[in-house]
Amino acid sequence: MAVARVSEVSASSPKGWDACAKEAITRASKTLRGITGLEVVSMKAKVEDGKIVEYRLNCKITFVLDD
């Protein structure tokens, strides 16, 4: 039986929601081992002059704890 932990992270990108999710996983992978999932908690965007200039995600990343 495995035990997992969840960490909440935020990521941003000027390229879109998918790029935010990839950035969140890429960055979390530098310090967390055994990542098994990502849940998007909220999606937001920064708007300037009527255009989206930055996409933002708050995510929960699940990873399995070592024995």
Domains present along the chain, CATH in parentheses: 4-64 (3.30.1660.10)
Q: What stretch of H or E contains 52? A: strand 51-64
How confident is the model over 18-33, as pLDDT tens digits? 999 999 999 999 999 9
How confident is the model over 31-56, as pLDDT tens digits? 999 999 999 999 999 999 999 999 99
CA angle 62, 67, 59 (to 5 degrees): 10
- pTM higher than 0.75: yes
**Token pair for 29:** 């992978």
| Alpha-carbon span 16 to 26, nearest angstrom | 15
